[in-house]
Amino acid sequence: MNYPKSFACHFIGVGGVVIHDSRVLLVKLTYGPAIGKWLIPGGLVDEGETLQEAIVREILEETGISVHPVGVVGLRSMVRTTDHLTDLYCVFLCKLECEGQ
């Protein structure tokens, strides 16, 4: 893809930390360079989607679990060496939808 030099182009991803009964929700990757690794669930933000909407969708897609984001616990920004695009990643603390209601 060709991107205009005068504008920054970004990949924006989200991850979710879900802790319940002293256990942390992890998913095992089944594709890509990190195949077989256990990570927090997450993925890329879709066009027209907020960060909060993205993490709720990603966790539901990957685990079937409904959550609501409580707040941001981490933010990472880097420039990808492969294509020099900015890669932003926002990590949310999330609670189970049924928890605390």
SS (H, E, C) 19-74: EECCEECCEECCCCCCCCCEECCEEECCCCCCHHHHHHHHHHHHHCCCEEEEEEEE
**Averaged pLDDT, 21-37:** 94
List the domains of the chain with CATH numbers: 10-96 (3.90.79.10)
pLDDT of 10: 85
pLDDT of 101: 47
Indicate whether this model's pTM tops 0.75.
yes
Confidence of residue 100 (pLDDT cuts 50, 70, 90): low
Query: pLDDT digit string (tens) for 65-83?
Result: 999 999 999 999 999 888 8
Matching residue, tokens 């594709």: 31
